[in-house]
Amino acid sequence: MIDFLYLGLIFFIIGISGVILFRNNIIFILICLELLSLSITIWISFFSLYLDNLFGQTLIFYILLTAAIEVSFGLVLIIILFFNLKNK
């Protein structure tokens, strides 16, 4: 069960290092932000199961919902930038 904490820590370190290393590429930054969100979700799910608390599980639902919305907005922005650069 403690392995989930290590998995969340690995995702968090990869996400932070990716944001720092790939500052010029917006796609990699979005992917690394998703990894950060995933690591926080893993930690919340672990502590929710460990403490037998239902609030953490409902919070996970909202975190995943906002992550999906973030990805859709990022994809729309990338498409708009692509079409603007293509038309110039």
Tokens found for residue 16? 């932070």
Q: How many helices (H) and strands (E) does the chain have?
A: 3, 0
pLDDT, tens digit (0-9, with 9 covering 90-100), for 60-76: 889 889 888 888 888 88
C-beta neighbour count of 25 within 10 angstroms: 12
Q: 49: domain CATH number?
A: 1.10.287.3510
pLDDT, tens digit (0-9, with 9 covering 90-100), for 20-37: 998 888 888 888 988 998
The whole model's pTM is what? Answer: 0.76
Asked if pLDDT for residue 3 goes beyond 90, the answer is no
Q: Cβ(9)–Cβ(39) under 8 Å? A: yes
pLDDT, tens digit (0-9, with 9 covering 90-100), for 76-85: 888 898 888 8
Host domain of residue 54: 3-87
Handedness of CA 21, 24, 26, 27 (dihedral sign): negative
